[in-house]
């Protein structure tokens, strides 16, 4: 009825392109905090559109949801990022991107050095470099090469 009652989850989904289930999941992960209307349905602030945009972009940069949550919480007052906040955050994004590009480039250069070599030796091959793998993949599914599980 009232015009400023907030957005329904469906409207938010349509506007962001996210699935309704994804939005509920993000709430469960603490990324957004809708309130409930009389009937128990979620209602979202218009600022959540921007908040979700931020989430989607940060995911492209390879951040996990917990990391994104922390970045959102790190904003003064826990507010949605403003223009000024964004400039600060992007610097961090840029560093992260630069690091990933550097890692991949090094990997490629090693590969170039190895083409035609064919050694694939565990001791000598420059391609076999667990450190870089860890750097690029963030933390993989479970154990990284170099961890020491049993059996």
Partner DNA sequence: CTAATTGCTAAACCTAACTTTAGGTCAAGG
Partner DNA sequence: CCTTGACCTAAAGTTAGGTTTAGCAATTAG
Contact residues for DNA, defined by CB under 7 A:
1, 8-11, 13, 19-22, 24-26, 37-42, 59, 64-66, 140-143, 149-151
> Does residue 15 contact residue 53 with C-beta atoms inside 8 Å?
no
The reply to whether 111 sits near its own copies by the rule CB under 8 A is yes
Select the residue interacting with its own copies from 1, 2, 3, 122 (CB under 8 A).
122
Given the complex with its own copies, which of 56 and 70 has the nearer CB atom? 56
> Does residue 48 contact residue 34 with C-beta atoms inside 8 Å?
yes
The reply to whether 28 sits near its own copies by the rule CB under 8 A is no
Residues in the chain: 151
Whole-angstrom distance, CA of residue 129 vs CA of residue 104:
12
The reply to whether 129 sits near its own copies by the rule CB under 8 A is yes
Select the residue interacting with its own copies from 6, 29, 45, 49 (CB under 8 A).
49
Whole-angstrom distance, CA of residue 11 vs CA of residue 92:
31
> Three-class SS of residue 122?
coil
64 binds, among DNA, its own copies, none (CB under 5 to 8 A by kind): DNA
Tokens 């991107």 — which residue?
97
Q: Site for its own copies (CB under 8 A): how many residues?
A: 58
Select the residue interacting with its own copies from 59, 73, 79, 138 (CB under 8 A).
59
The reply to whether 78 sits near its own copies by the rule CB under 8 A is no
**DSSP conformation letters of 124-142:** T-TT--HHHHHHHHSS-SS
């Amino acid at each position: 009825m009232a015009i400023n009652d907030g957005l329904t989850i469906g409207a938010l989904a349509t506007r962001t392109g996210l699935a309704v289930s994804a939005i509920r999941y993000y709430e469960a992960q603490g990324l957004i905090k809708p309130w409930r209307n009389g009937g128990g349905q979620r209602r979202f602030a218009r600022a959540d559109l921007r908040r979700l945009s931020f989430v989607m972009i940060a995911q492209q940069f390879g951040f996990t949801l917990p990391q994104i949550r922390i970045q959102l919480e790190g904003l003064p007052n826990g507010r949605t990022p403003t223009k000024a906040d964004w400039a600060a955050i992007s610097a961090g994004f840029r560093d992260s991107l630069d690091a990933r590009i550097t890692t991949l480039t090094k990997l490629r250069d090693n590969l170039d050095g190895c083409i035609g070599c064919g050694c694939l030796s565990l001791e000598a091959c420059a391609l076999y470099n667990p450190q870089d793998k860890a750097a690029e993949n963030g933390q993989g599914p479970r154990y990284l090469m170099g961890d020491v599980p049993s059996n």
